């Protein structure tokens, strides 16, 4: 059943997906960043630098053949499916929203890999010559932030067992 929270989550996933694809269309089109290395300097710490990512996170599992490309599409598609099912099983908005971020980002990168054979990256955060991240895109940011939120929630938020429902009176410790 699509509860209010799940609808909000699916809306966030769709918004993230559309925003990611719109930014990539802007980079590939009107901004003219068509080839790897094309760059627009926006500030002293942030550039738009076009790169093609043939792998997954941090360039791992690089698809150097058409077969590998489609295996990555299948793998990331399966992960997106699992995240989508997980999202639909959750009830709390705090659990749904990070899953929605991951889903929207994953779908954005999957569409790139299907359309271009690689993922379009463009966000280049740097401090002088030091780059804390590889060049990334909005989809990557959504996935990363969603994963960090899930990890933080799993480590910091623990549900207290309700001892009264188990037939034992609750006592304070």
Task: Provide the percentage of residues in the chain whose pLDDT is more than 90.
Answer: 75
The answer on pLDDT for 57 being more than 80 is no
Provide the pLDDT for residue 55. 82
Averaged pLDDT for residues 112-122: 95
Provide the pLDDT for residue 56. 77
* Token code pair at residue 145: 């932030």
Buried b / exposed e along 42-53 (16+ C-beta atoms within 10 A): eeeeebbbbbeb
Which residues are annotated as catalytic? Answer: 121, 140
The residue ranking higher by pLDDT, 172 or 44, is: 44
Range in 96-100, 107-111, 151-155, 169-173 the model is least confident about:
169-173
Provide the pLDDT for residue 62. 78
CA distance 27 to 126: 19
CA distance 139 to 106: 7
The answer on pLDDT for 60 being more than 70 is no
DSSP β-ladder status, 119-125 and 46-53: antiparallel
Q: Considering the chain, what is the average pLDDT of its residues?
A: 90
Provide the pLDDT for residue 168. 57
pLDDT tens profile 8-42: 999 999 999 999 999 999 999 999 999 999 999 99
């Amino acid at each position: 059943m699509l509860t209010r929270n799940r609808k909000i989550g699916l809306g966030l996933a769709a918004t993230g997906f559309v925003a990611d694809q719109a930014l990539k269309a802007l980079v590939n089109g009107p901004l003219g960043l068509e080839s790897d290395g094309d760059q627009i300097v926006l500030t002293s710490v942030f550039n738009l630098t076009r790169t093609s990512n043939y792998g997954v996170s941090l360039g791992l599992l690089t698809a150097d053949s058409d077969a590998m490309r489609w295996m990555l599409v299948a793998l990331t598609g399966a992960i997106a499916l699992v995240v989508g099912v997980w999202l639909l099983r959750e009830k709390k908005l705090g659990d749904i929203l990070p899953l929605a971020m991951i889903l929207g980002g994953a779908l954005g990168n999957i569409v790139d890999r299907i359309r271009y054979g690689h993922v379009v990256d463009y966000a280049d955060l740097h401090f002088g010559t030091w780059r804390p991240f590889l060049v990334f895109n909005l989809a990557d940011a959504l996935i990363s932030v969603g994963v960090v939120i899930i990890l933080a929630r799993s480590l910091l938020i623990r549900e207290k067992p309700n001892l009264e429902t188990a037939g034992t009176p609750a006592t304070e410790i």
